[in-house]
Amino acid sequence: MTAQPNPRSWPAEHAGVTAVGSRPETVDRPTPRAWSAIFRREATGDAPLTTTRIEAEPADVDRHGELIHDWMNRAHVVPWWELDKPLDEIRAYLAGLTHLQPWVVSADGTPFGYVETYRVADDPLAGHYPARPTDVGWHLLVGPERFLGSGMPRLLGWAFLAYQLGFLTTTAGGHPHHGDRVVCEPDARNSRMHAFCRRLGFHAIGEVDLPDKRALLMVCHRLDFMARWTDDRHTISDQIRVQGAITP
């Protein structure tokens, strides 16, 4: 049996919010398109101007199945995703996704990340906290170990927050995974992921028992993201921008 959180234990910002119903049997999902964000680091001192393109393309079972299978079997991924399965099972997993949209993410043409986005109202998570109709969520991983601690995961996080919170021009038309608040539910033991999310602008609102784990529920509002963006912009470099997407 899955324990339900006590509504009285949630912060005041969630008071009076009615939980969205559980996931429907089928979800009408439009065909997604690839998109990208360009991060620019201004020249400072002897350091030249540099740019990094973070590109997300819809994951394809045939083109990306082996790559995602490799990542799912990496030692730093297995404890949290628990998808260290044979290739045919990973292909079946990808082919069976309904309300989850899988993405393969690259930095300047080199694949390094896997992300799943979704609308919380379509997901079982909606039954475990006071979800809002405009909540959207994500799951993510970084595959190659050499990208861990490289700064690229943070750019991935910024890019997807911008995408889901509607700051990118590609979401101006109203994407189903575009909302007012992004939610994530990392394992309560995954302190590294907690720190990563807080660095992006998420804050924790409580723990919840899900069927497969005890999770720390974290949320990021538009204003949270913009406030953190401004702080990080000055911490990391003189100026970083997503060209054509965000005005810091």
Burial class (CB in 10 A: 0-12, 13-18, 19+), 189: middle
pLDDT digits (tens, 9 = 90+) for 121-136: 999 999 999 999 999 9
pLDDT for residue 225: 86
Name the pLDDT band for 24 (thresholds 50, 70, 90): very low
Section 5-32 average pLDDT: 44
Global confidence as pTM:
0.81
Q: Which domains does the chain have, with CATH numbers?
A: 32-242 (3.40.630.30)
Tell me what the mean pLDDT of segment 167-193 comes to. Answer: 81
Q: What is the pLDDT of residue 178?
A: 86
Neighbour order of strands in the sheet with 35-41: 203-210, 213-221, 181-184, 135-142, 110-119, 101-107, 50-58, 35-41, 240-242
- Give the pair of three-digit tokens for residue 240: 């970083």
| Region 101-112 average pLDDT | 96
113 versus 169: the higher-pLDDT residue is 113
List, for residues 198-227, the tens digit of each pLDDT value.
999 999 999 999 999 999 999 999 888 888
User: Is the CB of residue 120 less than 8 Å from the CB of residue 137?
Assistant: yes
* Amino acid identity for residue 96 in this structure: G
- Per-residue pLDDT for 33 more than 90? no
Average pLDDT over residues 91-112: 96
Residues whose CB falls within 8 Å of the CB of residue 42, separated by 6 or more in sequence, listed in order:
49, 237, 238, 239, 240
Q: Answer whether 100's CB lies under 8 Å from 78's CB.
A: no
- Confidence band of 29 (pLDDT split at 50, 70, 90): low
* Mean of all residue pLDDT scores within the chain: 81
pLDDT at 241: 42
pLDDT, greater one: 47 or 85: 85
CA torsion angle 97 98 101 102 (round to 10): 10
Angle ∠(23,178,199) on CA atoms, nearest 5? 100
- DSSP assignments along 40-79, one per residue: EE--BTTBPPEEEEEEEEE--HHHHHHHHHHHHTSTTTHH
With a cut of 90, say whether residue 42 has pLDDT above it.
no
The string over 209-219, giving b where at least 16 C-beta atoms fall within 10 Å of a residue's C-beta and e elsewhere, is: ebeebebbbbb
Q: Residue 188 pLDDT more than 90?
A: yes
